[in-house]
């Protein structure tokens, strides 16, 4: 059996299995990860090489990115919960990298101090007189 | 509007507003000071600050309404001279001293202030920290001389207080513009581990654990232990650590930590305190810049008040307090800084993003100072 054949077989098996993951998810995760793709792939291939059964295990190294994502979906719907902290920290760092215009942030909103309140209406700056006193 | 000077709302940044008002000579009116609070109006420590301002100025008009929710302040001339003040125990002497540091160079006669109260608490910058960072910073702006000193006579921990600090500062007619754009590498680390009314061994335990963290990075570390006894030890027990990292170009970055006041919060082991404080220092070094985060506003103020020339200072990330200070500088002095983000290059490994602040001083000259 050549390596290519075995790969096809493995793919077929997977396609049959993955009933619980939708196409959308796949696309989304494909779009998002452009920066992190390399890392993710490495992790996955490591994970799988430990868990995977005989046929697929041999051809692991040859997998393309899309295939490895299929694998991810296959392992369970709760896979997205993994590495949330890392994802969050990466998103945070990415946001920080986009340099903000600090000058605008500091001076941007011009707050006009309003001094037009009439003084007579207030007693001690705390209580407001709603009607004039009778006594 | 013009008749009332500047108007503000709420109790935040109270100190900034009063200090800038005093320096610029603009009247300020602050309304709605905790007007929705169960306990409305000015707090005791704020009233104490107003009293201190009244002592160092001549001819100030201060009007506070009955409930203390509205304050009107018309600053007089900064007089200086010999001043004694019992600071309120709610805040430490550092709170009052930070205001005095900003005002002292612009007095008529050189200031000699004796402040009594809490010298070290976890909330405000302690006297030791101001001594080791704010003073060298001011020296760069041309404020120095033999009369420039901050001395801890007695140490008083929160909540009891009982400490005493003497601050002397010469007056200057103008402030020198500065160009601080390269902090360079850390040269050495110094520190003070203090303990009062506890075992003197506490300070040693702090030093040991702090060194355990810092020795991995730099060999030149010396942390003094300062154990005050008897009448000099204040009224409450406590301990703490102040660490200062000095760079090759003479910038100072500091971090500090104090034990929680007696009867408040969980007690902290001196070992933990030393280790945490050392980590805080590492974080401060990561933030970097030529001025550490607690003195950013002081540096910006002195840049603003410099001669009409360009000043540049490289800071770490701006603290929220500094951002508000920048807005207040715009209100009082009509000066806006040029703010540029400087990213450290990949191979340089100089910590987090830096901010380069550039401005042209307003050409402030000390009108209070007598010309001899």
Flag if A106 and B35 touch (Cβ within 8 Å). Answer: no
User: What per-residue confidence (pLDDT) applies to A61?
Assistant: 44
Flag if B339 and A126 touch (Cβ within 8 Å). Answer: no
User: What per-residue confidence (pLDDT) applies to A123?
Assistant: 62
Flag if B7 and A115 touch (Cβ within 8 Å). Answer: yes
Pick the closest to residue B61 from B84, B85, B77 (CA basis).
Answer: B77
Average pLDDT score over chain B: 92
Flag if A126 and B31 touch (Cβ within 8 Å). Answer: no
**Residue A97 scores a pLDDT above 90:** no
Among residues B271, B287, B303, which one ends one of the domains?
Answer: B287
Smallest CA–CA distance, residue A123 to chain B, in Å, is 9
Q: Could you read off the pLDDT of B255-305 as tens digits, one per residue?
A: 999 999 988 888 899 999 999 999 999 999 999 899 999 999 999 999 999
Is residue B347 one of the residues assigned to a domain? yes
Q: Are strands A127-128 and A122-123 parallel, antiparallel or unpaired?
A: antiparallel
- Taking CA atoms, A118 is separated from A123, A132, A133, B308, in Å, by 11, 15, 18, 40
Q: How many domains does chain A have?
A: 1
Task: Output DSSP code: residue B175.
Answer: B
| Integer Cα distance of A27 and A25 in angstroms | 5
- Taking CA atoms, A129 is separated from A122, B33, B282, B331, in Å, by 6, 19, 56, 32
* Cα angle for residues B161, B162, B163 (degrees, 5° grid): 95
- B305 and B355 within one domain: yes
Range of the domain at B70: 1-76
Q: Are strands B354-360 and A127-128 parallel, antiparallel or unpaired?
A: unpaired
- B277 and B192 within one domain: yes
Smallest CA–CA distance, residue B10 to chain A, in Å, is 11
Residue in B closest to A108 by C-alpha: B327
Is residue B101 one of the residues assigned to a domain? no
Is residue B140 one of the residues assigned to a domain? no
Pick the closest to residue B144 from B180, B165, B172, B103 (CA basis).
Answer: B172
Quick one: what percent of chain B has pLDDT higher than 90? 87
- B209 and B195 within one domain: yes
Give exposure, B10-27, as e/b (b: 16+ Cβ within 10 Å): ebebbbbbbbbbbbbebb
Long-range contacts of A78-86 (CB under 8 A, 24+ apart): none
Is the sign of the CA dihedral B175, B180, B185, B186 positive or negative? positive
Q: How many domains does chain B have?
A: 3
CB contact B355 to A (< 8 Å): yes
User: What per-residue confidence (pLDDT) applies to B19?
Assistant: 96
Paired tokens of B356: 């380069």
φ/ψ (deg, to 5) at A10: -55, -40
> Do residues B165 and B159 touch, judged by C-beta distance below 8 A?
no
**Residue B49 scores a pLDDT above 90:** yes
Is residue A11 one of the residues assigned to a domain? yes
CB contact B344 to A (< 8 Å): no
Give strand pairing partners of B257. Answer: B241
Is residue B14 one of the residues assigned to a domain? yes
Is residue A111 one of the residues assigned to a domain? no
Q: Could you read off the pLDDT of A37-79 as tens digits, one per residue?
A: 444 444 444 444 444 444 444 444 444 444 555 555 556 667 8
CATH number of the domain residue B254 falls in? 3.30.360.20
User: What per-residue confidence (pLDDT) applies to B368?
Assistant: 84
- B278 and B302 within one domain: no
Is residue B135 one of the residues assigned to a domain? no
Range of the domain at A14: 3-97
Q: Which residues fall within 8 angstroms of residue B197, CB to CB, at 6 or more apart?
A: B157, B233, B234, B236, B237, B238
Pick the closest to residue B258 from B111, B126, B105 (CA basis).
Answer: B126
User: Which region among A85-94, A107-116, B100-109 has the lowest average model confidence (pLDDT)?
Assistant: A107-116
Three-state SS for B192? strand
| Integer Cα distance of B138 and B307 in angstroms | 15
- B247 and B216 within one domain: yes
φ/ψ (deg, to 5) at A105: -65, -40
φ/ψ (deg, to 5) at A89: -70, -35
Alpha-helical runs (H) found in chain B? 14-24, 44-56, 93-103, 127-129, 135-140, 201-214, 270-287, 296-304, 320-333
- B258 and B217 within one domain: yes
Flag if B31 and A125 touch (Cβ within 8 Å). Answer: yes
Among residues B45, B76, B107, which one ends one of the domains?
Answer: B76
Q: Could you read off the pLDDT of B174-220 as tens digits, one per residue?
A: 999 999 998 889 999 999 999 999 999 999 999 999 999 999 999 99
Residues 18-57, chain B, touching A (beta carbon < 8 A)? 29, 31-32, 35, 40
Is residue A117 one of the residues assigned to a domain? no
Is residue A27 one of the residues assigned to a domain? yes
Among residues B235, B254, B287, which one ends one of the domains?
Answer: B287
**Residue A33 scores a pLDDT above 50:** no
Is residue B365 one of the residues assigned to a domain? no
CB contact B65 to A (< 8 Å): yes
Task: Output DSSP code: residue B142.
Answer: T
B4 interaction partners in chain A (CB closer than 8 Å): 115
Is the sign of the CA dihedral A37, A38, A39, A40 positive or negative? positive
Is residue B45 one of the residues assigned to a domain? yes
Average pLDDT score over chain A: 56
Smallest CA–CA distance, residue A127 to chain B, in Å, is 9
Is residue B217 one of the residues assigned to a domain? yes
Instruction: Please give the interface size between A and B, counted as residue pairs whose CB atoms are below 8 Å apart.
Output: 51
Residues 72-111, chain A, touching B (beta carbon < 8 A)? 96, 99-100, 102-103, 105-107, 111
Flag if A126 and B7 touch (Cβ within 8 Å). Answer: no
Beta-carbon-side half-sphere exposure of residue B368 (alpha carbons within 13 Å): 27
Query: Out of A99, A103, A125, whose CB is closest to B69?
Result: A125
Pick the closest to residue B335 from B298, B316, B363 (CA basis).
Answer: B363
């Amino acid at each position: 059996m050549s390596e290519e054949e075995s790969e096809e077989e493995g793919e077929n098996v997977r396609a049959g299995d993955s009933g619980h993951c939708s196409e959308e998810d796949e696309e989304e995760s494909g779009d998002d990860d452009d920066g992190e793709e390399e890392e993710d792939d490495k992790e996955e291939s490591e994970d799988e090489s430990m868990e995977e059964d005989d046929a697929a295990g041999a051809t692991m190294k040859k997998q393309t990115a899309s295939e490895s994502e299929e694998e991810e979906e296959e392992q369970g719907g709760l896979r997205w919960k993994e590495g949330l902290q890392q994802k969050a920290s990466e998103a945070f760092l990415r946001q920080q990298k986009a340099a903000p215009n600090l000058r605008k942030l500091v001076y941007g909103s011009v707050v006009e101090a309003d001094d037009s309140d009439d003084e007579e209406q207030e007693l001690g700056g705390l209580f407001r007189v709603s009607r004039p006193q009778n006594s | 509007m013009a008749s009332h000077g500047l108007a503000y709302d709420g109790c935040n940044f109270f100190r900034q507003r009063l200090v800038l008002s005093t320096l610029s000579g603009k009247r300020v009116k602050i309304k709605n000071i905790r007007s929705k609070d169960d306990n409305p109006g000015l707090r005791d420590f704020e009233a104490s600050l107003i009293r201190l301002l009244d002592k160092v100025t001549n001819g100030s008009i201060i009007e506070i309404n009955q409930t203390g929710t509205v304050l009107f302040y018309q600053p007089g001339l900064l007089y200086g001279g010999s001043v004694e003040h019992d600071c309120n125990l709610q805040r430490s002497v550092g709170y009052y001293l930070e205001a005095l540091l900003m005002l002292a160079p612009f007095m008529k006669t050189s200031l000699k202030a004796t402040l009594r109260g809490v010298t070290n608490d976890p909330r405000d910058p302690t006297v030791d920290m101001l001594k080791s960072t704010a003073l060298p910073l001011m020296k760069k702006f041309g404020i120095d001389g033999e009369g420039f000193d901050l001395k801890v006579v007695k140490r008083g921990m929160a909540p009891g207080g009982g400490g005493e600090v003497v601050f002397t500062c010469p007056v200057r007619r103008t402030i020198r513009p500065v160009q601080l754009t390269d902090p360079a590498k850390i040269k050495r680390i110094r520190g003070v581990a203090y303990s009062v009314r506890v075992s003197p061994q506490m300070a040693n335990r702090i030093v040991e654990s702090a060194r355990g963290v810092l020795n991995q990075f730099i060999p030149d570390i010396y942390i003094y232990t300062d154990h005050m006894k008897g009448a000099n030890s204040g009224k409450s027990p406590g301990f703490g650590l102040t660490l200062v990292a000095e760079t090759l170009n003479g910038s100072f970055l500091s971090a500090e930590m104090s034990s929680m006041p007696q009867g408040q919060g969980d007690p902290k082991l001196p070992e933990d305190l030393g280790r945490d404080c050392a980590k805080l220092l590492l974080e401060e070094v990561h933030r970097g810049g030529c001025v550490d985060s607690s003195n950013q506003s002081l540096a910006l103020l002195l840049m603003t008040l410099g001669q009409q020339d360009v000043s540049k200072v490289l800071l770490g990330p701006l603290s929220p307090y500094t951002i508000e200070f920048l807005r207040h500088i715009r209100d009082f002095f009509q000066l806006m800084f040029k703010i540029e983000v400087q990213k450290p290059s990949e191979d340089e490994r100089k910590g987090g993003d830096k901010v380069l602040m550039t401005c042209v001083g307003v050409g402030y000259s000390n009108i209070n100072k007598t010309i001899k």
